[in-house]
Amino acid sequence: MPNTVDIAARDRAYDGFFKMDVFTLRFELFRGGMSPEIEREVLIGNQSICCLPYDPLRDEVVLVEQFRAAAYAAGEEHPWMLEAPAGFIEPGEEKNEAAKREVGEETGCTVTELDYGGPLYSSQGAFSERTNLFIGKTSTDGVGGIHGIAREGENIRVSVFPFDEAIALFNAGKIQSAFGALPLLWLWRHRERLLREWGAP
């Protein structure tokens, strides 16, 4: 199996909130030998997390809704997206801590346990971001309202949904963000196990 990459150059072509690197490289081929030299532009994103708060006693999830500039740029008619809390892991932070922190900041929920679905590349052709997928055990009692860190321009509406209603919204095409689709499908698949593990008071 190929495993060799020869990097002739790696140039930082843009350095703003995001970074863009241009790689000049050759990679090993399955058919043998090395590829010709190619140039590939990659958006550099830190590792991120996505964590869906789930109350196993009420069988409810917490979703956030917020304006997404990238959806606006894509021409979306309604560029506010329903999704699970998500964000970048800060330097020195563990992914589990990041999941609990983001859920707290965006929803006011306290997460007491985490179920982990692994790191998943968002857009591996040209973006280095890996999202670490979590379900977070929480209580939805009293959860809701408008949250977000105003100085970061966050304006987040927090809503509690019965799980069945949330998965029906997904199946009706109302949840388009990977940060909504992934954890809802994961929870659909692993809900019985999580109810067993987390359901008993």
Partner 1 sequence: MPDPAPFNRRDVELVAKETPFRRYFQLDIYFLRHPLFQGGMSPILQREVFERGQSACCLPYDPARDEVVLIEQFRPGALAADDPRPWLIEAPAGIVETGETPDAVVRREVQEEAGCTVTDLEFVMDLYPSPGATSERVAMYIGRTVTQGIGGIHGLDHEAEDIRVFTQPFEEAIRLVDAGQGQTAAGAILLLWLAQHRDALRAKWT
DSSP 34: B
Distance CA 132, CA 188 (A): 18
CB–CB of 128/43 below 8 Å? yes
Question: 68: buried, middle or exposed (CB in 10 Å: 19+, 13-18, 0-12)?
Answer: middle
**Encoding tokens for residue 39?**
């140039």
Whichever of 66 and 138 has its CB closer to partner 1, that residue is 66
Whichever of 57 and 120 has its CB closer to partner 1, that residue is 120
Question: Taking contact as CB under 8 A, which single stretch among the options 51-59, 101-109, 135-143, 150-158 is the one that binds partner 1?
Answer: 150-158
Minimum distance, C-beta of residue 155 to partner 1, in the bound complex (Å): 5
Minimum distance, C-beta of residue 45 to partner 1, in the bound complex (Å): 6
List binders of partner 1 among 19-78 (CB under 8 A): 20-23, 25, 27-31, 35-36, 38-45, 47-48, 65, 67-78
Q: Which amino acid is at 89?
A: I
Distance CA 115, CA 113 (A): 7
* Position 142 contacts partner 1 (CB under 8 A): no
Catalytic, 77? Answer no
Give the contacts of 52 (CB within 8 A, at least 6 positions apart).
Answer: 61, 62, 63, 84, 85, 134, 135, 136, 183, 184, 186, 187
List binders of partner 1 among 169-198 (CB under 8 A): 169-170, 173, 176-179, 181-182, 185-186, 188-190
Distance CA 156, CA 104 (A): 12
Set 152, 154, 192, 197: catalytic member: 152
Exactly one of 90, 165, 192, 197 binds partner 1 (CB under 8 A); that residue is 165
Whichever of 57 and 178 has its CB closer to partner 1, that residue is 178
Minimum distance, C-beta of residue 59 to partner 1, in the bound complex (Å): 15
CB–CB of 158/64 below 8 Å? yes
Whichever of 28 and 105 has its CB closer to partner 1, that residue is 28
Exactly one of 81, 84, 89, 98 binds partner 1 (CB under 8 A); that residue is 81
CB–CB of 105/70 below 8 Å? no
Whichever of 77 and 200 has its CB closer to partner 1, that residue is 77
Known catalytic residues are: 152
